[in-house]
Chains A and B, each alone.
Chain A
């Protein structure tokens, strides 16, 4: 459990950061620091287990069907990376407290940082590769937020977007690769996969899996040719760069290569691809870094180069090289984080990071300068600093590597890379800190507060300690290296002095060569400037723009914004596919005995045919179309009644009433006639399409109805009474067997009603409101609220509500239920709006429709959740019988409470939809000059209340 907590604490802390920031910047930083330290303490508590190589893991099921589990494990490698993430994380938190300016929102910064930290910890501690993928994507997303933290700067946004596209794209490949890997191993648990190295390497899927996984790792770790995103990510605040590019983000790819080393490394494919990619990246990036004048850009390319170095070591495939790679991860994290922070201090104090303007800073800011110089020495591999240890091991590994029969390729390129590394480090160290002081700096620099340089000092101390006393880190690195190599590494002995070895000679050559390059920097720079250089960002932007243009062209060509085109294409495509299938497949008439046609049925069919024809031919008269549509609805409900579906008939007929009212209300505001716009040609085309579809639908229905098919319904009928406690099977299915569907459906209904409210509420302002005000009512009855209708609806209201209650209560056993009862009650209420006007009815409405929708969904949801209290799944129903005096035995089912929720939602939905339209209507009818035959009235409200005397009410 503590393993999961290590990962979860940063995620839990993230949302608290903006809150903590309200109490002050220091409090927020302190909170972030405490969270990080807490994770670190928990991690350290696991150290003995990790070093002993014990099987320390924790797991909880997440989606067991998919093989996805929430499981974490810690071994030497995971501990190594998690320690770096958290230890450097604490330093970054402290540093950022002093780095961020007064205008920077600290809460947002620490929230993003915590998210990112949690994601990184998730990657290194996951024991399930699907879970690892989730965290992998989370690092892409959270680093996007961090890189784009200064989102007012265009280069921040572009850098963040580029990083997201490159690493996110690699993430896609990685997902595919990991799925293949899990497929080969037969498990997604990392522990299981790591045991199956031989089976995986022998599998025919090994190569595709390897390529895809490497794509993911190389994009994340900025390996050539995907290195270009990293320098642009430098638009981030310096603490972010220091964190992402030393210990975390870019090391995720390295971690993955190390993690999967036992199962992927050792083959020719691995060696040929990984080692060469690393070598090329190391040399190329070091070359570019030499010529960067922006300190952060220089460090960025240096980071790429060092990542290449580690990749190359892992690619060589020998246990010793892999151990050297692990050691260099530690060393690089310490000196590179220290250097990034130093550069941040320089930028902070001088206002520039340009090498052409900086100089002699050592004398202006002695503490920062000294620390930076030591870190530089470590980066260049000067003994007795940690960089020297790993450089020696790297050169030794390169010296022993023969690539495709070329024994000189690796040693020579490695020496060149090391020399270039010395050269750019010398440039950084000497030009910025040691040589010629400049005086045209924007600010007068001095050492920053101790909180800003102390984290640098801690890292520099670590670099010195590891270098001078390699034994200190030996156990830590050896445990990680043993886990990396799957135990193949038997012994690791780190020492500064290995005697006169070839590696020592190569190291000396590289140092001398690098200093010579620095000496001759001017001429070399001129020569290089004359060479053509591919600009990665320009190529990326061009590719990006081309993609956007292609997409726009494709959209312009296919999306005509004409419904007719789209509907035709969709309908014709479906009809053609279904028709082709029908013609190609063998078919025979069905064998189910048909029911004999009756005279009423034939009559209803004839009415339907005539009405449908009239609708098609005369639909332009809209009022008539509404009336004809309601006739169709009536025939449909009669059909339901005829074929043993009383519930459906009741529902259909009540929905019909509501729909017709709705259409009429809307039509009052819409044009009353559809203009004739389409020519005979188009009409003929549409008719042909429609007839084809109609024939298909009718034929399909006929084919279905004339065949018997085995269904699952026998279960529902048999269990309705014993399990659901009701005899109306349809209602029991709705509120019990398939209650979750119904729950979703009432939510959809409620959303539709709220959308209607939102659409029309805002129509009372702006252009729509002006149009409404300009409307004149069309031909309408002179008496807007006929007395007869007013009286009838008010008398009917209590009756209708009683009927609704009756339908509701009996619904579980007889036709009825929440849906139908809700519709009946809603109709009765709506009638009040129709008869007496919106203002009159709205003033008397006791229940807010919004409240009814929300309450209904809530009641249904709580009823469902109630089952949890008894340890049963969501929506498990129960029922019992209660004996009441006078009434007799009453059945109480929890499903009835669910049905009440359905009832309330339906009433609320109908009321809100129709009442909102009525309200808009009322606005359209607004204050107008009274008809000539009536005496002018003082207030409009009185006009809306013609029958007020009938019902005595309070107020005016």
Chain B
């Protein structure tokens, strides 16, 4: 089990980092989401893997470490807030500039980078 979870964290991290290094906003947002999953799972794993011993007093003799769970719970919600903000930032950036490139590039690049589908829409 530990191997599966650890490799799962590794896979999510790798995919997240790869997507984070793309040139358009949307893959970057997806990459950040994957990284959030990986980080949350990692934090969760610091409480060790325990089956059927939820952190409820009286439900089991030796409940699992509850602290990482509390931290991860808020982390999940905060990740949502962060993702929402970044999605909206990218949306506003696209609406403002007509391009969804991540980089602050020169005007020539911008001209070349304007999304063709959008240019079509304008016509």
* Chain A interface (Cβ < 8 Å from any Cβ of B): 561-564, 567-568, 571, 592, 594-598, 601-602, 605, 608-609, 612-613, 615-616, 619-620, 622, 625-626, 629, 632-633, 635-636, 639-640, 642-648, 651-652, 655, 658-659, 662-663, 666-667, 669-675, 677-678, 686-687, 689-691, 693-695, 697-702, 704-706, 708, 711-713, 716-717, 720-721, 727-730, 733-734, 738, 741-742, 745, 748-749, 752-753, 755-756, 759-760, 763, 766-768, 771-772, 774-776, 813-815, 819, 823, 906, 909-910, 913, 916-917, 920
Which A-chain residue is minimally distant from B103 (CB atoms)? Answer: A562
Closest 6 pairs between A and B when the two form their complex, measured CB to CB = A698-B10, A694-B14, A702-B6, A768-B95, A595-B1, A752-B81
CB of A608 within 8 A of CB of B11, answer yes
Which B-chain residue is minimally distant from A745 (CB atoms)? Answer: B74
CA distance A748 to B95 in the complex (A): 26
CB of A625 within 8 A of CB of B82, answer no
CB of A571 within 8 A of CB of B118, answer no
In the assembled complex, the CB of A753 is this many whole angstroms from the nearest CB of chain B, namely 7
Q: Bits for B59-88, please: 1 = Cβ < 8 Å to A, else 0.
A: 100011111011011101111111111011
Which A-chain residue is minimally distant from B50 (CB atoms)? Answer: A644
Q: Which B residues, 100 to 117, have Cβ-Cβ distances below 8 Å to chain A?
A: 100, 102-105, 115-117
In the assembled complex, the CB of A371 is this many whole angstroms from the nearest CB of chain B, namely 63
CB of A693 within 8 A of CB of B77, answer no
Starting from the known contacts A616-B15, A702-B6, 10 additional A-B residue pairs (CB-CB under 8 Å) come to A563-B102, A597-B3, A674-B24, A678-B23, A694-B12, A711-B67, A749-B81, A753-B81, A756-B84, A756-B88
Residue of B28, B48, B50, B115 contacting most chain A CB atoms (<10 Å): B48
List of B residues within 8 angstroms of A672 by Cβ: 117
Complex A-B: 9 CB contacts under 8 Å: A675-B24, A694-B11, A694-B12, A716-B67, A717-B55, A727-B58, A752-B82, A768-B92, A917-B88
Given A571-B17, A701-B5, A913-B84: A609 in contact with B56 (beta carbons within 8 A): no
Given A594-B3, A666-B91: A717 in contact with B57 (beta carbons within 8 A): yes
Size of B's binding interface in residues, CB under 8 A: 94
CA distance A920 to B88 in the complex (A): 11
Given A677-B23, A729-B56: A666 in contact with B5 (beta carbons within 8 A): no
CB of A815 within 8 A of CB of B56, answer yes
Which A-chain residue is minimally distant from B60 (CB atoms)? Answer: A644
CB of A741 within 8 A of CB of B1, answer no
Which B-chain residue is minimally distant from A565 (CB atoms)? Answer: B103
CB of B81 within 8 A of CB of A909, answer yes
Residue of B25, B66, B83, B116 contacting most chain A CB atoms (<10 Å): B66
Given A662-B87, A760-B91: A774 in contact with B74 (beta carbons within 8 A): no
Interchain CB contact (< 8 A) of B33 among A629, A717, A727: A629
CA distance A671 to B24 in the complex (A): 10
Given A711-B67, A734-B73: A772 in contact with B84 (beta carbons within 8 A): no
CA distance A768 to B24 in the complex (A): 19
List of B residues within 8 angstroms of A675 by Cβ: 24, 115-116
CB of B67 within 8 A of CB of A648, answer no
List of B residues within 8 angstroms of A713 by Cβ: 47, 65-67
CA distance A674 to B14 in the complex (A): 20
List of B residues within 8 angstroms of A693 by Cβ: 13-14, 17
CB of A686 within 8 A of CB of B2, answer no
Interchain CB contact (< 8 A) of A760 among B7, B25, B92, B116: B92
CB of A669 within 8 A of CB of B94, answer yes
Residue of B51, B57, B73, B82 contacting most chain A CB atoms (<10 Å): B73
CB of A759 within 8 A of CB of B50, answer no
List of A residues within 8 angstroms of B83 by Cβ: 659, 662
CA distance A404 to B55 in the complex (A): 78
CA distance A720 to B6 in the complex (A): 30
List of B residues within 8 angstroms of A749 by Cβ: 77-78, 81
CB of A763 within 8 A of CB of B92, answer yes
List of B residues within 8 angstroms of A615 by Cβ: 15, 19, 30, 34
Interchain CB contact (< 8 A) of A648 among B73, B79, B88: B73
List of A residues within 8 angstroms of B2 by Cβ: 594-595, 702, 705-706
CA distance A695 to B10 in the complex (A): 6
List of A residues within 8 angstroms of B53 by Cβ: 644
CA distance A645 to B52 in the complex (A): 9
CA distance A753 to B77 in the complex (A): 12
List of A residues within 8 angstroms of B117 by Cβ: 671-673
CA distance A655 to B81 in the complex (A): 10
Given A711-B65, A733-B67: A772 in contact with B85 (beta carbons within 8 A): no
Interchain CB contact (< 8 A) of B51 among A644, A686, A733: A644
CA distance A823 to B1 in the complex (A): 30
In the assembled complex, the CB of A511 is this many whole angstroms from the nearest CB of chain B, namely 69
List of B residues within 8 angstroms of A564 by Cβ: 21-23, 102-103
Given A612-B12, A644-B53, A647-B73: A698 in contact with B81 (beta carbons within 8 A): no
CA distance A102 to B50 in the complex (A): 77
List of A residues within 8 angstroms of B29 by Cβ: 663
In the assembled complex, the CB of B92 is this many whole angstroms from the nearest CB of chain A, namely 5
In the assembled complex, the CB of B9 is this many whole angstroms from the nearest CB of chain A, namely 5
List of A residues within 8 angstroms of B57 by Cβ: 717, 720-721, 727-729
CB of A645 within 8 A of CB of B64, answer yes
Which B-chain residue is minimally distant from A707 (CB atoms)? Answer: B48
CB of A612 within 8 A of CB of B34, answer yes
Interchain CB contact (< 8 A) of A729 among B52, B66, B76, B77: B66
CA distance A697 to B121 in the complex (A): 43
List of B residues within 8 angstroms of A717 by Cβ: 55, 57, 63, 66
CB of B96 within 8 A of CB of A701, answer no
List of A residues within 8 angstroms of B24 by Cβ: 674-675, 677
Which A-chain residue is minimally distant from B62 (CB atoms)? Answer: A717
List of A residues within 8 angstroms of B6 by Cβ: 698-699, 701-702, 705
List of A residues within 8 angstroms of B103 by Cβ: 561-564
In the assembled complex, the CB of A826 is this many whole angstroms from the nearest CB of chain B, namely 10
List of A residues within 8 angstroms of B56 by Cβ: 727-729, 813-815
CA distance A741 to B50 in the complex (A): 26
List of A residues within 8 angstroms of B121 by Cβ: 774-776
List of B residues within 8 angstroms of A663 by Cβ: 29, 87
List of A residues within 8 angstroms of B78 by Cβ: 745, 748-749
In the assembled complex, the CB of A683 is this many whole angstroms from the nearest CB of chain B, namely 9
Interchain CB contact (< 8 A) of A601 among B4, B18, B64: B4
List of B residues within 8 angstroms of A667 by Cβ: 26
CA distance A694 to B7 in the complex (A): 8
CB of A699 within 8 A of CB of B10, answer yes
Q: Bits for B35-50, please: 1 = Cβ < 8 Å to A, else 0.
A: 0011011101111111
CB of A730 within 8 A of CB of B55, answer yes
In the assembled complex, the CB of A733 is this many whole angstroms from the nearest CB of chain B, namely 4
List of B residues within 8 angstroms of A646 by Cβ: 54
CB of B76 within 8 A of CB of A652, answer yes
Residue of A568, A673, A733, A753 contacting most chain B CB atoms (<10 Å): A733
Which B-chain residue is minimally distant from A605 (CB atoms)? Answer: B4
Interchain CB contact (< 8 A) of B18 among A562, A616, A699: A616
List of B residues within 8 angstroms of A910 by Cβ: 80
Interchain CB contact (< 8 A) of B7 among A698, A704, A733: A698
CB of A567 within 8 A of CB of B21, answer yes
List of B residues within 8 angstroms of A598 by Cβ: 1
Interchain CB contact (< 8 A) of B21 among A651, A686, A823: A686
CB of B94 within 8 A of CB of A670, answer yes
CA distance A691 to B12 in the complex (A): 10
CA distance A745 to B56 in the complex (A): 23
In the assembled complex, the CB of B6 is this many whole angstroms from the nearest CB of chain A, namely 4
CA distance A670 to B88 in the complex (A): 11
List of B residues within 8 angstroms of A596 by Cβ: 1
CA distance A605 to B87 in the complex (A): 28
Which A-chain residue is minimally distant from B40 (CB atoms)? Answer: A636
CB of A730 within 8 A of CB of B122, answer no
CB of A734 within 8 A of CB of B34, answer no
In the assembled complex, the CB of A85 is this many whole angstroms from the nearest CB of chain B, namely 49
CB of B11 within 8 A of CB of A698, answer yes
Interchain CB contact (< 8 A) of A612 among B11, B49, B63: B11
